[in-house]
Amino acid sequence: MAHPGTHRPFKDELYREFARVGGALASPKRLEMLDLLAQRERTVEDLAGELHLSVANASQHLRVLLSARLVEVRRDGHFAFYGVAGLDVIRLCHALRDAAEERLADVHAIALRHLGAREGAVDPVEAGELLDLVASGRIVLLDVRPVEEYRAGHLPGARALPIEQLRQGTDGLRLSRRREIVAYCRGPYCVFADEAVALLREHGFRARRLRSGPPDWRARGWPVVGDASA
């Protein structure tokens, strides 16, 4: 049996590789970038605009994520499209988020300060709980993300109603006040659903937000539907 000291190079090399992933995640902008890429593929220019970064800075962050194999790039002619490298990356980001919620009181304080009390959110234990209500017509499920994200993957039975469209009013949207509306967006800290619920309630609708978004459903192994015709 080898002396324990001879394993030191192995452990040093191994944990150096683990640290590559940890180092890639050690940036607020890169974490938000992964959250966006979990919704759909994006170009560096798209990411730069969404994150309020220069294209050069966004490219630098992408290089770090590419080096750690957390994102992949797909080339189409002169364009490069970036996306998360796999479901394991989404689950890793969610595990980090869950640990921060559990261990850091500031997470809840920040959410409360910026978003107020967010009572009444829907958070099903199983996908079937919500999808049965949608299929039976007892609730209307609205995806209020940008339509490109809806097309890339949405919850079964969800209707696309981007928040930009909802801001223009509810006339002509064919929404029934007799049925409860559940709105969702990118995930627990996306504010589109909060805004949608507030707007709908102002117009006399019964509305709540869904805490999770399509990446959360994918991570749980729940169904997500792509619809390029939306």
Reply yes or no on whether 185 is catalytic: yes
Parallel, antiparallel or unpaired: strands 79-84 and 139-143: unpaired
C-beta atoms surrounding 153 within 10 Å: 20
Shared-domain flag, residues 86 and 141: no
What confidence tier does 3 reach under pLDDT thresholds 50, 70, 90? low
Residue 226, in any domain of the structure:
no
Query: Per the residue annotation, which of 93, 133, 185, 207 is the catalytic one?
Result: 185
What confidence tier does 118 reach under pLDDT thresholds 50, 70, 90? confident
Shared-domain flag, residues 76 and 125: no
Residue at which a domain ends, from 90, 110, 135:
90
Residue at which a domain ends, from 43, 72, 90:
90
Number of domains in the chain: 2
Distance CA 96, CA 212 (A): 16
pLDDT for residue 2 is more than 60: no
pLDDT for residue 120 is more than 80: no
pLDDT for residue 230 is more than 60: no
Q: What does the pLDDT average to over 59-80?
A: 97
Residue 99, in any domain of the structure:
no
pLDDT at 116 (0 to 100) = 87
Helices (H), 156-191: 163-166
The whole domain housing 193 covers: 118-220
Q: Looking at residue 187, which CATH number applies to its domain? A: 3.40.250.10
Range scoring the smallest mean pLDDT among 15-19, 151-155, 224-228: 224-228
Shared-domain flag, residues 34 and 70: yes
Shared-domain flag, residues 80 and 162: no
Residue 169, in any domain of the structure:
yes
pLDDT for residue 201 is more than 60: yes
Q: Looking at residue 62, which CATH number applies to its domain? A: 1.10.10.10
Residue 107, in any domain of the structure:
no
